[in-house]
Amino acid sequence: MPLYEYKCTECDTRFDALRSISDADTLIACPKCGSEKTGRMISLFSAIGDQGVIAGAGSSCGSCTPSASCATCSLKSH
């Protein structure tokens, strides 16, 4: 089962949940305040391959560069 990241719009808590793909976008209560005003976040991850570590793999941000901060996804470097 995939691990998804969520954020509560009521208390700004970020939390993870193991859920099936079909349940990824269904309502889920915030573990801190109990609100169901939560949303799934875009998760970034790193992968190791032939060319070394690729940070932020899977990101849809096309403006990121290895040496600069990204204004879109707020990553300091890749």
pLDDT of residue 53: 66
pLDDT of residue 56: 58
pLDDT of residue 77: 42
For residue 18, name the pLDDT band (cuts at 50, 70, 90): very high
- Under CATH, what is the fold of the domain 3-43? Rubrerythrin, domain 2 (2.20.28)
For residues 75 and 26, which has the higher predicted lDDT (pLDDT)? 26
pTM, full prediction: 0.58
pLDDT, tens digit, 9 for 90 and up, residues 30-76? 999 999 999 999 877 667 777 776 665 444 444 444 444 455 444 44
Cα 36 to Cα 2, 14, 26, 31: the distances in Å are 20, 13, 10, 10
Q: 5 forms bridges with which residues in the sheet?
A: 16
pLDDT of residue 50: 78
